[in-house]
Chain A
């Protein structure tokens, strides 16, 4: 069974631009979460989607948004990029939230560099 896939793997943008990252969960998984990893702040939760609905949101500004499609694939968008948005963005999928099978499996991440 294929794992979580994220595209693109690497991205370079300039300040003020916007970016869209994509995540395809493990087949059959319906919950997708996004995390930001930086050397200074560590791993921080961005948001979680299940059945195309955002169920949970972390403490990030409104420039960070996301969505989930009917096939469970998810995208996250960052508008008006700032230098501090440079990070590894990780996507994780789980089978269903709220059950013992709630273990999250992570993709390899998208490395975003903002110049």
Chain B
């Protein structure tokens, strides 16, 4: 079945450091890929998405590129801020007509000043 494997956390970085959170997936067909972020005590917020191979999603300085050849969708940010501290989830929707999001386990990110 479909699955998403995320980098184990927690991840602790200093402010202005470079961030990479790895995400790989297994799915039949051509899934859409997403990164969601969850701040303490809140629901999930869509961070970025990509719907086809080589698409790059970007938002708030975060980027991720849909790599079909490596089945990956790694999240990157050049300079993190304390406000980026949250849990990040990689997810996929397998194909059109199926709304079931399959999530990774989440990566808790803490940024220290």
Encoded as 1 (CB less than 8 Å from any A CB) or 0, chain B from 50 to 92 comes to: 0100000000000000000000000000000000000001010
**Dominant SS among interface residues on chain A:** strand
Q: Is the CB of A42 within 8 A of B103?
A: yes
The number of residues on chain A lying at the interface, defined by a beta carbon within 8 Å of a beta carbon of chain B, is: 29
Whole-angstrom distance between the Cβ of A29 and the nearest chain B Cβ: 11
A64 within 8 A of B: no
| Chain B residues packing against A (C-beta within 8 Å) | 32, 34, 36, 42-46, 49, 51, 89, 91, 93, 96-106
Q: Is the CB of A43 within 8 A of B43?
A: no
Q: Is the CB of A106 within 8 A of B36?
A: yes
B89: chain A residues within 8 A (beta carbon): 43
A50: chain B residues within 8 A (beta carbon): 99
Closest to B44 in A: A106
Whole-angstrom distance between the Cβ of A36 and the nearest chain B Cβ: 11
A74 within 8 A of B: no
Bound complex: CA of A88 vs CA of B42, how far in Å? 10
B96: chain A residues within 8 A (beta carbon): 97-99, 102
A55: chain B residues within 8 A (beta carbon): 99
Q: Is the CB of B102 within 8 A of A103?
A: no
B99: chain A residues within 8 A (beta carbon): 31, 33, 48, 50, 55-56, 94, 97, 102, 104
Q: Is the CB of A97 within 8 A of B43?
A: no
A102: chain B residues within 8 A (beta carbon): 32, 93, 96, 99
Known: A90-B43, A100-B51, A106-B36. A42 touches B100 (CB 8 A): no
Q: Is the CB of A45 within 8 A of B106?
A: no
Known: A98-B96, A108-B42. A103 touches B34 (CB 8 A): yes
